[in-house]
Structure 1
Amino acid sequence: MKRPNIVLIMTDQHRFDALGCYGNSVIETPNLDSFAREGTVFTSAYSCTPSCVPARTSLISGMDPWHTGVLGTGKGQGKMGGNFKHTLPGELSNSGYYTLGIGKMNFSPQRSLNGFHHTSLDEMGRVESPDFVSDYAEWFERNKTGDYGSVDHGIDWNSWISRPFHAPEFLHPVNWTANETIRLLAKRDPTVPFFLKVSFTRPHSPYDPVPYYFDMYREKPLPKPLIGDWAGMHDQPDDAHSPNAWRGKRSDEEIRRARAGYYGLVSQIDQQIGRLFAYLRQIGAWENTVILFTSDHGDMLGDHNLWRKTYAYEGSAHIPFIVRLPKTMRHTYALPRFVDKPVCLQDVMPTLLEAAGISVPDTVDGKSVLPLLRGEDAGWREFVHGEHSWCYSEEQEMQFLTNGRWKYIWFPRLGTEQLFHLAADPGECRDLSADAAYVGQLAAWRERLVRVLEPRNCGFTEGGQLVCQAGKPPLVSPYYKLRTDSSDE
């Protein structure tokens, strides 16, 4: 059988519920919703380290954060690097695929290939060396129609501020990513199957859709932020004053405008993904292409008085994950419309390698989701474990477990816990950790986390109990040094 092409589409900071196929009746995402109807929507997909670099490190390597050595973007954490023994594009390249990465990669050095044959980069504002200029930035300067820059709208990369894009629509990074993908795909070697990683830099802030998509939501009723009975701890005016605030309540109008910009970006991305889908049909590749759509993490958008990412909460950690198999593979699959088993970004690499008929390296911690598409769920994981080092503040360092129905969170620097019954309270508005009726449930989840962390022997557990980390140095995985040292040999 002819090997399938593979397309991995990734958005940046895209929360799971900002898609029509995940139940959002306000947002307009017709192309992804139609795509989802041809595939399977995973309703309990999570980012195990919900910020850009660590999440993408797990995706490209198939490894848990502890084994990648990147536990967040905070204190003591390293970079992705280009020194993995096995990567998703590397295994596909070695097996005869032509591999292209377009958009945001987050590699270090930024021109590392990590197994790709070629990359064309939009790294947002990230510049790690004086001589680096991203392909998008270079193209923007060459094609702009006046004396302006790509961020002259004045919004920073982590801001809650929103406004329409200030330059002509064709210059927007979302449009560039789709155009660049189509341009490079047209130049591929047509005699071999291809792997595309198409990585949009939005809806990550700046919330700057082109005017058409900003106006689409400017006057539309939008979901209001969820505010839990515990969220007063993050209503901090001293933090909220910053244009790049990580927490604190802004005005209702500012929050609504942020959400309008965010939703506008999602709809703009959806329209450009539709162009890519049309091109795959045009070149006759649609019916022999595996497509997986996901994101690195979500965005709190003011939920619980929080902004951005790095949190265990649904807005930050719960991500879209949709798989569509080509016609050439569907006859052996049950192809359920929805799957509620817990999955994560580590599962992307083994899923796509299995779809290509390639052996999965023993360094991979994730699991292929293809058995779930065949209706085979025996032995699937009971829960996903996630974590993030402290980034904005010590108190937001966290560890979490979830199976999509319950979620347990432990804050190592505070020594406190939270428990949410997601099936009954999907917005995490009621913390059950102090409710006597749930003491058994709380203890069971705490014991599970102890079992996950004990083998690390990192000081987080002792005598079967979790140990508060207040005043202690940040947790650093020994695997990061092992990996980076081995690359120098």
Structure 2
Amino acid sequence: MANKPNVLLLMTDQQRWDTLGCYGNRVIETPNLDWLASQGTVFTSAYSSTPSCVPARASLITGMNPWNTGILGTGKGQGPMGVGFEHTLPGELAKSGYHTRGIGKMSFHPMRALNGFHHTVLDEFNKVDEQGIGSDFRSWFDRNKTGDYEIFDHGIGPNSWMARPTHAPEFLHPTFWTIKESIEFLNRRDPTKPFFLKVSFSRPHSPYDPPAFYFDLYANKKMPEPHVGEWASMHDVPQDAASPDAWRGGRSAEETRRARAGYYGSIHFIDHQIGRLLQFMTKHKLLRDTIVIFTSDHGDMQGDHNLWRKTYAYEGSAHIPLIVKLPAGMGTPATQRVENPVCLQDIMPTILEAAGTPIPQTVDGRSLLPLMQGECPDWRPYVHGEHSTCYSEEQEMQYLTDGKWKYIWFPRIGSEQLFDLRRDPAELNDLAGSEAHASELLMWRERLIGVLAPRSAGLTDGNRLVCQAGKPPIVSPHYAERTRRSGAML
């Protein structure tokens, strides 16, 4: 293309990979995203290397692996995302002449930090900044509400498994607001520059509170049942399940079905609002010159294996959707479905290459464009992921997957799991104790040792994995280094 393409990055919060029609789901309705997939490339083995909000978003915005961002999770020893990154996706695009805007959930700290954007318009749940001022959505909600109610007066918390329709009119829902702000930016942007617009929804992350139309649609459908392997009995803990914000424990079949109805309804509503944005862009002849990427930061277990929320290596938590549609001027991709293992770190170099912008040496990810053209035979053999202690020490994990097999190690309890995703995509059968799969287990364990050994962090002695029970949390030195560079306080 003679001119640089516009870039539209659509990101949902906590959307698992199997909740789109283009990924084979026959219950949910996602016509706009399915159309986008039909015009571009679907990556069937896309994973979040650190499947919770802040660390996943840090990897996306920098193109760096979690160890290099310094953010290994959201638990002990982990600070906020902060600032001080040498290179960010919006920052590099801004240097290259783009007008950049971030709308919705950014998870930055301080909340109003820009991390390379020219401007952000924020929806950060009920968080307030250092001056005690709420996010832009919260202020807009208060100015436009039609009665004496607050954002969360439906009684469901932002990490709950409970679900119900929103108590407020549809136009006051954050999903609607996010697209409203996106369209306003496109109307008011600098027309002499290409744009980079990151549209970051705060849903389908709980609360599962779509407008009544979308909730009722799925409340009256037969919903997929949760996958529960025999090994998952360790997480069927009634005492933990009793919490409205439970991270594990079995709830009743009706409660689980209702949670899934709210979750699916939230995604359906997002899809309709994305359609609203795509219609605007088509009408104003913007879509044909825009690279469009859709993804999520991580998934949501939705009761699978008696687990809720995220931070786990399992498919519901770590496996994410990823769709890339190129502008008309870049031609039709040779490959509509790519099975190679990819991750959030790959989005930054993909966009920069498409924009004709140099990729900084700090970037660990790789451009996806060669894969879309059916090239790149030397692609990585697997993705490495991890998450530090958050809900409980037994939940801390390291994992490897190539989309066909998955190996998980739990450093705090010293146990392993192995799944054959080709035959067992629901991860019902743990093969780690199977003699018939001993060689497979050893191969994956040695691969993880090879990944962790260069860190010299005590996770391995070079020959074996070292259990971390009773030891201090692993903390990447890169977080403190970046914090010192930025002059911020830890």
TM-score, normalised via structure 2 length = 0.99
Aligned to 1:461: 460
8 Å Cα contact 2:214/2:269 also seen in 1: yes
Question: Alpha-carbon deviation of 1:124?
Answer: 1.0
Cα deviation code 1:12-68 (max 9, x no counterpart): 000000111100000000000011100100000000000000000000000000000
Aligned to 1:12: 13
Amino acid at match of 2:483: T
SS at match of 2:12: strand
Cα deviation code 1:150-186 (max 9, x no counterpart): 1100100100000000011100000000111101111
8 Å Cα contact 2:450/2:462 also seen in 1: no
Question: What do you get for the CA RMSD once the two structures are aligned?
Answer: 0.9
8 Å Cα contact 2:127/2:134 also seen in 1: no
Aligned to 1:65: 66
Question: Alpha-carbon deviation of 1:133?
Answer: 1.4
Question: Alpha-carbon deviation of 1:130?
Answer: 4.4
8 Å Cα contact 1:51/1:72 also seen in 2: yes
Aligned to 2:364: 365
Cα deviation code 1:436-487 (max 9, x no counterpart): 0000000000000000000000000014100000000000000111111111
Aligned to 1:101: 102
Question: Alpha-carbon deviation of 1:127?
Answer: 2.8
Distance 1:202 1:482 in 2: 33
Amino acid at match of 1:343: V
Distance 1:31 1:366 in 2: 28
Question: Alpha-carbon deviation of 1:352?
Answer: 0.3
8 Å Cα contact 2:126/2:138 also seen in 1: no
Alignment of structure 1 residues 230-241 onto 2, 5 Å: 230-241=231-242
Amino acid at match of 1:373: M
Aligned to 1:421: 420
My pick for the range that moved more, 369-378 or 53-62, is 369-378
Alignment of structure 1 residues 108-187 onto 2, 5 Å: 108-187=109-188
Distance 1:37 1:200 in 2: 22
Question: Alpha-carbon deviation of 1:377?
Answer: 2.4
Distance 2:461 2:39 in 1: 49
Aligned to 2:450: 451
Question: Alpha-carbon deviation of 1:102?
Answer: 0.3
Aligned to 2:41: 40
Question: Alpha-carbon deviation of 1:79?
Answer: 1.2
Distance 2:354 2:156 in 1: 41
8 Å Cα contact 2:408/2:417 also seen in 1: yes
SS at match of 1:114: coil
Amino acid at match of 2:448: L
Distance 2:3 2:367 in 1: 20
SS at match of 2:282: helix
Distance 1:192 1:4 in 2: 10
Distance 1:347 1:463 in 2: 28
8 Å Cα contact 1:390/1:396 also seen in 2: yes
Distance 2:264 2:372 in 1: 30
Distance 1:436 1:119 in 2: 54
Distance 1:114 1:463 in 2: 37
Question: Alpha-carbon deviation of 1:128?
Answer: 4.7
In structure 1, runs of 5+ residues without a counterpart are none
Distance 2:438 2:155 in 1: 49
Distance 1:298 1:347 in 2: 18
SS at match of 2:215: helix
Alignment of structure 1 residues 290-369 onto 2, 5 Å: 290-330=291-331, 333-334=333-334, 336-369=335-368
8 Å Cα contact 2:55/2:72 also seen in 1: yes
Distance 1:435 1:375 in 2: 36
Distance 1:3 1:129 in 2: 37
TM-score, normalised via structure 1 length = 0.99
Alignment of structure 1 residues 473-488 onto 2, 5 Å: 473-488=472-487
Question: Alpha-carbon deviation of 1:191?
Answer: 1.0
Structure 1 segments of 4+ aligned residues over 6 angstroms from their partners: none
Amino acid at match of 1:246: W
Question: Alpha-carbon deviation of 1:71?
Answer: 0.1
8 Å Cα contact 2:112/2:129 also seen in 1: no
8 Å Cα contact 1:7/1:197 also seen in 2: yes
Distance 1:31 1:314 in 2: 24
Aligned to 1:441: 440
Question: Alpha-carbon deviation of 1:129?
Answer: 2.6
SS at match of 2:15: coil
My pick for the range that moved more, 371-380 or 247-256, is 371-380
Distance 2:160 2:131 in 1: 25
8 Å Cα contact 2:46/2:342 also seen in 1: yes
8 Å Cα contact 2:17/2:320 also seen in 1: yes
Aligned to 1:244: 245
Alignment of structure 1 residues 79-90 onto 2, 5 Å: 79-90=80-91
SS at match of 2:453: helix
Distance 1:322 1:264 in 2: 21
Identity %: 65
8 Å Cα contact 1:44/1:404 also seen in 2: yes
8 Å Cα contact 2:453/2:462 also seen in 1: no
Distance 1:115 1:231 in 2: 43
* Count of residues paired in the alignment: 487
Aligned to 1:22: 23
Amino acid at match of 1:401: L
8 Å Cα contact 1:20/1:33 also seen in 2: yes
SS at match of 2:68: helix
Amino acid at match of 2:166: F
Distance 2:211 2:186 in 1: 25
Distance 2:238 2:353 in 1: 50
Aligned to 1:374: 373
Alignment of structure 1 residues 216-295 onto 2, 5 Å: 216-295=217-296
Distance 1:451 1:376 in 2: 27
SS at match of 2:294: strand
Cα deviation code 1:227-262 (max 9, x no counterpart): 012000000001000000000000000000000000
Aligned to 1:192: 193
- Label 1:80 to 1:446 Cα distance change in 2 as closer, same or farther (>3 A): same
8 Å Cα contact 1:125/1:157 also seen in 2: no
